[in-house]
Structure 1
Amino acid sequence: MNELWNQIELSWTWLTASSQWHGPDGIPHRLLQHVWYSGVSLLCAAVIGLALGLLAGHTGRGGFLAITLANVARAIPTFGLVLFVVVIDYSITPVLVALVALAVPPILVNTFEGVRGVDPDAKDAARGVGMTGWGVLWHAELPMALPLILLGLRTSAIQVVATATIAAYPGFGGLGRYIIDGLARGDYQLVVGGTVLVVALALIVQLIFAGLRRLVVSPGLLGSARPS
């Protein structure tokens, strides 16, 4: 217990030191790098996952292929993918590719399941008032699938924030820089401090999605999402 308390005290000292909040190795700079890596990856994954999920769920075609591809992407070791592609192209691109591959499956699967699971009576009613196929998707299926879609986005966002620490391994920035450098130097104050920052960022992301869910989802649908 004393050892744990000492680590917490050392980490707090590191986090609150003024020197950690300035310069290219300071917390604000590393945090912005981490948020940029995570945000770009999540945006790309959302475009891919939402497009494929909405299309497959609405048309009822390609669902098996979409789920299969998502499961294959889940099976790819993110760290191994980064190291493999870095050998070919030493840039931030491999990290982003790996993070996108990690983030697409929950978004794709939840979007597909959310749209496919919409009550057929609701879709029939939308068609009955003269809506076209795309009108049914945007005005009936999408709103009712939102709880699951947001759950998929939240799951992906948290996974990406946690996994973006791998950007530091091939020599790039982000909060993972503290963890990698701390392990290399045997400086566990740095490791714990970096870990605390990553966990705090993941919790903030979760709170943002919880607020977004309450803001955009109909109250009658708030309890309808199930884990991906």
Structure 2
Amino acid sequence: MQRLVFYFTLPWVLIAVAVGSAAAQVPVIDRANHTIAKQTAETTERILDTNKNILAAVEDTLKAVSGDRADVAGPLQDLAIGQGFSVSAMPPLDGVLTGGTLDLGAGNGEVARAATRFINSLQLVRSLSGQTGSDLPGDRSYEELIRSVASVSALTHGAQAATVLRRSAFESAGRTVGEAADIKGSIDQNTQLQVQSGLTLNEMIGVMNGAVTSLQAQNQRRLTDISNSRKALSYGD
């Protein structure tokens, strides 16, 4: 009976050994580590996406604060003296009248014609002595006074016409401010408006200088009259 038991037991042992060997070759999945690895991969992917978004935002910011915006600020550069009358284009006072013709420089032709019509309407004599090309102090003073009157007349007419044009230009520019696509465009627009405001202020200073020049001519005329009076009285002595 013992021999029979031995032969029946041996196959089961062999089968058990074979099954154990086969089970040892099957891979084992660590579910905890797999979960952590999956979470790490997802987190890394989100970090990469965030970095891409940050890079895109930095590039957009760089574009918004750098580069040329001439197409945005360029239309504003002629608000002050780009059209119409300009005091800075006028020649010096002694060059306003050349051969009896009023010359106010390039771009001021209509203003010169208006001032010439005003001077001609006064029907002034060419000189107090009646002499042509006289060097008498009275004649020279009178000629300077005519230049002053012509210049102030041109300044007044030109400034009035330019005021209308500049008001329209600044109102039109005001409607476009804020339409720039980015901050650099808005800054350039604001800078150009400041420049144009400065040029406009400079034009006003030029007009005031013309007024001061007219006072100087008036004082010069008074001095000449005083001097001539003194000379006339000295002849009687």
- TM-score with structure 1 setting the length: 0.36
Higher helix fraction (1 or 2): 1
Larger radius of gyration: 2
- TM-score with structure 2 setting the length: 0.35
